[in-house]
Amino acid sequence: MFSFDRATISSRKACDPAEGISARRSSPERLKPYHVETLKAIALLGGTKEYVNLSSGELGKLVGVSQQSASQRILELIRDGLVARDLATRRQRIRLTPRGGEVLRKEYADYQRIFEIKETLTISGAVTSGLHEGAFYMRQKGYKDQFRKKLWFEPYEGTLNLKVTGPDLAKLQILQESPGIEIAGFDAAGRTFGGAKCFLATVGHVDCAVIMPIRTHHTDVLEVISKHYLRGSLGLKDGDIVELIVSL
């Protein structure tokens, strides 16, 4: 997971299984407040986990608009890949796509930042095995020198990977949008290593840091570094739930 090379990653377009078309990513400029309101209404009916029966007229009543306006909202959300629609049955059935869920998580993270977030953020995740690439990056002098200077420790050659689920995914969004401690990219041995940002943290009373590559796709795995071998120091194994206290 700890991969900082600046490489071009080919992204696969998400396909709406019901519409049979490639969904297009919704840009921040295109997304309107009423889109978020509509996604929220669908989600409250259970549309994050499964298709729900919902006509345009019923949606209109929920959000206080006409049937025609509600129908247009659904079409816009389908166009932007935020909602999937199943027309195989007599009634219209719709649900949020993973991208639509990300929009609501972003909204949730914003409200957490307003009402809940102070100087620290508590994130829980399940210990999971990574791709065993962490040791290679931890050995790079360009990173190690910066870790010693900016984090005040030289990390163990490896990372502790935590898989984050549920409401805590919104907290990952907060970290992604926070500045953190910059770890600059560099060139070495004819190879380019990308930049990252870190957040000082503690896990089980052991000092550590969260590290997040700057150029990366969305992920639900949080990587943690420490001068200690955390699995050994804390007696952790895959599947164990760990609570991380992160300083913002």
Which residues, listed in sequence order, are joined to residue 193 by a DSSP beta bridge? 5, 186
pLDDT of residue 199: 95
Domain that holds residue 61: 24-96
Cα atoms found within 13 Å of the Cα of residue 3, Cβ hemisphere only = 13
Q: Is 13 a member of any domain?
A: no
Burial group, residue 190, by CB count within 10 angstroms (0-12, 13-18, 19+): exposed
Regarding whether 227 and 137 lie in a shared domain, the answer is yes
Residues 6 or more apart whose CB falls under 8 angstroms from that of 32 comprise: none
Q: Is 136 a member of any domain?
A: yes
Regarding whether 125 and 243 lie in a shared domain, the answer is yes
Regarding whether 133 and 84 lie in a shared domain, the answer is no
Q: Is 199 a member of any domain?
A: yes
pLDDT of residue 2: 53
Regarding whether 213 and 130 lie in a shared domain, the answer is yes
Rounded Cα distance between 186 and 173, Å, is 26
Regarding whether 120 and 87 lie in a shared domain, the answer is no
Q: Is 162 a member of any domain?
A: yes
The total number of structural domains in the chain stands at: 2
Q: Is 179 a member of any domain?
A: yes
What's the per-residue H, E or C state across 29-63? CCCCHHHHHHHHHHHHCCCCCCCEECCHHHHHHHH
**Residue at which a domain ends, from 45, 68, 96:** 96
Regarding whether 140 and 53 lie in a shared domain, the answer is no
Q: What is the pLDDT along the chain (248 residues), one digit of tens a residue?
A: 454 443 333 333 333 443 333 334 455 457 888 999 999 999 999 999 899 999 999 999 999 999 999 999 999 999 999 999 987 778 889 999 999 988 888 888 778 767 765 678 899 999 998 777 777 888 889 999 999 989 988 899 889 999 999 889 888 888 888 889 999 999 988 899 989 999 999 998 899 999 998 876 668 999 999 999 999 999 999 999 999 999 88
pLDDT of residue 29: 54
Residues 6 or more apart whose CB falls under 8 angstroms from that of 238 comprise: 126, 127, 128, 129
**Residue at which a domain ends, from 96, 122, 145:** 96
pTM: 0.59
Q: Is 17 a member of any domain?
A: no
Regarding whether 221 and 156 lie in a shared domain, the answer is yes
